[in-house]
Structure formats: structure tokens, C-alpha cells
Amino acid sequence: MPQTDTSAEDSVILDAIAKWLARDVAPHALKMEQADTYPYEIVEQMKALGLFGAVVSPEWGGLGLSVSTYAKIVTMISEEWMSLTGIFNAHLMMAKCVEKFGAEEQKRKYLPRFCTGELRGGVGLTEPDAGTDLQGIRTRATRDGDHYVINGSKIWITNGIEGNCFSLLVKTDPSADPPRRGMSLFIAEKGPGFGVSRKLEKLGYHGIDSAELVFEDYRVPADCLIGGVEGKGFHQAVGGLELGRINVAARGVGIASRALKESVRYSQLRKTFGKPICDHQAIQLKLGEMATRTEAARLLVESAARAYDEGRRCDMEAGMAKYFASEAAIENSLEAMRIHGGYGYSKEFVIERLYRDAPLMAIGEGTNEMQRIIIARQLIERNPA
């Protein structure tokens, strides 16, 4: 597939990622995914590669990669084992919130430790009764001297068990109208009152922990309020979702691409009626559609990442990329299963994993229904009559 140009330095990084995937991930991914085993050794390798500070400025110890290059890394890893990308993406969303909106002292205290993976975690947004509608959250923080006391719960939190620090969205003023004006974002390290109630079992996305977090009179220092001003949390969280949606879109490209590659290969090896199935028009039609979807999704991701890198508002571009690439992942994984027949349904091969992983892309970081609404609203706002 065609690729946009990358710098020599970025090419070295992408080459290192490719070699790492072939050497240390590919031989173990199938077995670990099926066992739903957390990849401790691989996480240590990701720390050494600098992935936990991939898009954080070198000033704080990060790699300072462009989001365009970061998206390519996510796509590469997702082709091999999509779950791994969630381990560092949720973490980077937290890190970017601190880098973009945090006070100087917060940056000095946390960002270097985020980049090394010493402090590692994600974002605490979703609740049992509030997912896409973030303004409906109920977790509350009440000021008590130089601390805030937090009570409530979060669900479907990536890295909830293995992580130790999260950006936590709460309501500091439940009576605010509209509700978003009463929401704040905290840096929350695990401690007394911060509990993990259970690991959530999932159809796919295995090997990475998704958990329910419970807060019972959890005390967090007031200087952990990101930016130091109450009422800014909704804006900060939504800003972080732009990166998250580009990441999910890049994952979708990875899944779609792997499904295509496996199908192209298999269609040349499998024979029916005396010839490879790639010679049958029915298979050619599927491959042609899969290839076009994959490349279109890749280009949308590149467009959204470029807008992010240029500092432009990119919720529409990120929404388009996330929506289209996730649907491409779902469609390609299903077509790959049809092309592979019984082998596609077997757990001995990668196709059934792609089929299980793909639906998450249409849900994570905002449903695709919400993406279409965001796209339409931005389209109207940018093109007034």
C-alpha cells in the first residue's frame, strides 16, 4: 500500500518497531491472546522502545513523534496484535492532557514518569450510566481543605488493574448548567479509597485489562487538579479524545490491513475446481473491495493526523477516520472469514481474532453513531449558509 513520506529519523523508529514485532510479538501473540494473558514482558519492551512517551515532547523525556508517525506505529502493531496498542494509547491520552492543560509543576512532576512508564495508566471517563454522554457522569469530587474527596465509579477503564495512575473526570459542581461547566479532571494515583472491583470479560481485546474502578472517600491533593482551575475538565477530556479517536482509527486500519493480507495470501494457496480461489470472480470482488476500504481508511487517518499535527481543530477529521476505519475493520474481518471458510472460523488462525477485535473499534472512544453526528455538526458549523 502507498505510504506518505516519513523523515529518516521516523523511518528508523518504524523499522525498529517492525523488527520488534517480528522478533518478540508475532511468536507469542496468538497463544497469549487466546489465554487472555497480560503481556508483562512485552510491556517492558514497549517501555524500552519509548512508546509510553511516544507523542510527548522530548523536553519531558518523550520521543516527540508526530501523530502522523504515531498512527503508523499503531497500525503496524494492530496488524500483529491490536490489544497492545490500548496499553500505551490510553496512557498517552492521559499524558497529553497533562502536557496540554497541566500546570508547569504538574508537568515537571508527572510527565517524565509517564514517559518511562514508571507511572502508567489511562483515562477514567466512562461510568455505568454514562458513556458517550460524558455530561451525565455522577462521580463527584468535594473540596476538603487542600484535598478533594471523590466518590463514585468508572467502568470499562483500560489499564484499570495493571495501571497505577489515571486522569479522572468528575463533577466538582453538580448543579452547573450546562453540566460540562461543573466538570474537572484530576491526576489520580492509586491509594486508599481507590479500588478495583473486577476485571471485565470481553469478546475480544484480550490480554489487556478492562476494569471497573470504585472510589470511596478517595482523597486526592488539590494540586492534582489538571490546570488548577475547576470546571475545565470536559474541554480537557474531549481534547484528549481527538488523539484517542485517531488511535482507534489507526487500529481499524491495522485490522483491515491484516485481514486483507491474510486473504490475499490464502486465496493464492487454496484451490477449488482445479484453480486457486483468487482466480474466481467472486473472490476477486471481495479482495477489490477490501483493498479499497483499507486504503481509503488509511488516507483518512493520515488526514486526521496531519490536522492534529498542524494544531487545527480536527474533531470532524478524527471522527471521519474513526468511523470509516472501524467499519472497514468490521467488514474486512467478516469478508476474510468468508474467504477462509472453515479455517477462518478456527481459533488456530488469526482471522477469528480479527473478527472478535473489530467491533470494539466501532464502540471505543465514542460510538460510530456519535461520530456521524459530530461530522454533520462540524460540517454545518464550518460551512454556514
| 3-state SS track over 11-52 | HHHHHHHHHHHHHHHHHHHHHHHHHCCCCHHHHHHHHHHCHH
Residue 6, pLDDT > 80, answer no
Residue 94, pLDDT > 70, answer yes
Class of domain 122-232: mainly beta
What rounded mean pLDDT belongs to the chain?
95
Instruction: Render pLDDT for 129-156 as a digit per residue (tens, 0 to 9).
Output: 988 889 999 999 999 999 999 999 999 9
- Which one of the listed residues 352, 365, 369, 381 is annotated catalytic? 365
> 8-116, what's its fold?
Butyryl-Coa Dehydrogenase, subunit A; domain 1 (1.10.540)
- What CA–CA distance (Å, rounded) separates 118 from 115? 8
Q: Count of CB atoms within 10 A of residue 381's CB?
A: 10
pTM of the full structure: 0.95
Residue 279, pLDDT > 50, answer yes
Predicted local confidence at residue 5, as pLDDT:
55
Predicted local confidence at residue 133, as pLDDT:
87
Q: Where are the domains of the chain?
A: 8-116, 122-232, 235-382
Catalytic annotation on 365?
Answer: yes
Instruction: Render pLDDT for 288-336 as a digit per residue (tens, 0 to 9).
Output: 999 999 999 999 999 999 999 999 999 999 999 999 999 999 999 999 9
Residue 68, pLDDT > 60, answer yes
Question: Residue 29 — pLDDT band, cuts 50, 70, 90?
Answer: very high
Amino acid at 195: G
Predicted local confidence at residue 224, as pLDDT:
98
Instruction: Render pLDDT for 178-205 as a digit per residue (tens, 0 to 9).
Output: 999 999 999 999 999 999 998 999 999 9
Q: Note whether 8-116 and 122-232 share their fold.
A: no
Instruction: Render pLDDT for 153-162 as a digit per residue (tens, 0 to 9).
Output: 999 999 999 9
CB 247 within 8 A of CB 179: no
Residue 2, pLDDT > 80, answer no
Question: Residue 1 — pLDDT band, cuts 50, 70, 90?
Answer: very low
Q: Which CATH number fits domain 235-382: 1.20.140.10, 1.10.1040.10, 2.30.30.60, 2.60.120.280?
A: 1.20.140.10
